[in-house]
Amino acid sequence: MDLKGQTALVTGAGKGIGRAVALKLASCGADVVINYAGSEEAAKKTAQDCESFGVKALCIKCDVSDEKQVEEMVKEAAGHFGGIDILVNNAGITKDNIILRMSEQDFDDVIAINLKGVFNCMKHVSKLMLKSRYGRIISISSVVGIRGNAGQVNYSASKAGVIGMTKSLAKELASKGITVNAVAPGMIETDMTGGMKQEARERMLSSIPCGSMGKAEDIAEAVCFFAGKKSGYITGQVLSVDGGMAV
C-alpha cells in the first residue's frame, strides 16, 4: 500500500486502535494528524513513532463532540499539510450499564462522542475532499452496532448510527471520488476492553468462533485497505473484523 503524498487525520489516535491505525498509515507513507482529547504525552509518543517512518506528524487536541473545535482542527490540519485525503473516525468512549441504571448523561455523553463526533468530522473534512474530488472516509463502528449487547444500549446505538451515516454519506459522495466505509471491530485487546469484568470478558470470548481476542493491528490493516486508491470502487460497506462474532 503506497500512501505517499497523502495526509490522514485519525481521531483518538493517542492509544489503542487509533494509535495502531496512525502507525499503519504512516508506515505506508502518509503524513498523519493525530487527534487526541486526553493524554498529550500519548499523542506525542504516537507522533514520534509515526515520524520514525520518515513522514510528518501533527498533534491536535480537540473534543470531536464540539463542532467548532472540529472545524478549527480541520482548518489547522489542512493549513499545515495542504489538505486531508484520509479521515479515520476512531474516537470513542463507553459508559456501560443496564438501561434501568443508565443515566441520561451517560447516554448523552456516549452519543456525543461516538456519533455526533463522527458527524462533525465527516461534515468538515468532506468539504475539503469535495474541492479536490478525492477522499477516503473510514469510521470505526463495532460488532455491537450490528448485533447489540446487553448493558450497552448507548454504545450499541452510537455504533449502529455510525453504520447508518456511513451508508448515507457514501451515496452522497460516491460520484465525487470519495468513498465512505466502516470497520466493525469485535473484541479487541485495548485499554477499553482491558477494564472489563472477568465474567463479562469470558462471556464475550465464548462467543468468538476464533476463540481469541483480536489486536489493534488487525483493525489497522482493514482501515489501510479502505484508505488505498485501489479500493476506489468500494463504498458504503461495513467490514467486520471480529473473529466471526457477527456471523
pLDDT digits (tens, 9 = 90+) for 127-183: 999 999 999 999 999 999 999 989 999 999 999 999 999 999 999 999 999 999 999
Find the catalytic residue in 36, 134, 155, 233: 155
**Active site (annotated) includes residue 155:** yes
Residue 66: its pLDDT value, please?
98
- The CATH code for residues 7-238 is 3.40.50.720
Enumerate the domain spans of the chain. 7-238
Sheet holding 7-10, edge to edge: 57-61, 31-36, 7-10, 86-89, 135-140, 178-185, 238-241
Q: What is the pLDDT along the chain (247 residues), one digit of tens a residue?
A: 899 999 999 999 999 999 999 999 999 999 999 999 999 999 999 999 999 999 999 999 999 999 999 999 999 999 999 999 999 999 999 999 999 999 999 999 999 999 999 999 999 999 999 999 999 999 999 999 999 989 999 999 999 999 999 999 999 999 999 999 999 999 998 876 776 677 777 877 888 999 889 999 999 999 999 999 999 999 999 999 999 988 8
The helix/strand/coil state of 215 is coil
**Which pLDDT score, from 0 to 100, does residue 192 have?**
67
Cell numbers 446487553 correspond to what residue? 150
**Residue carrying the nine cell digits 457514501:** 170
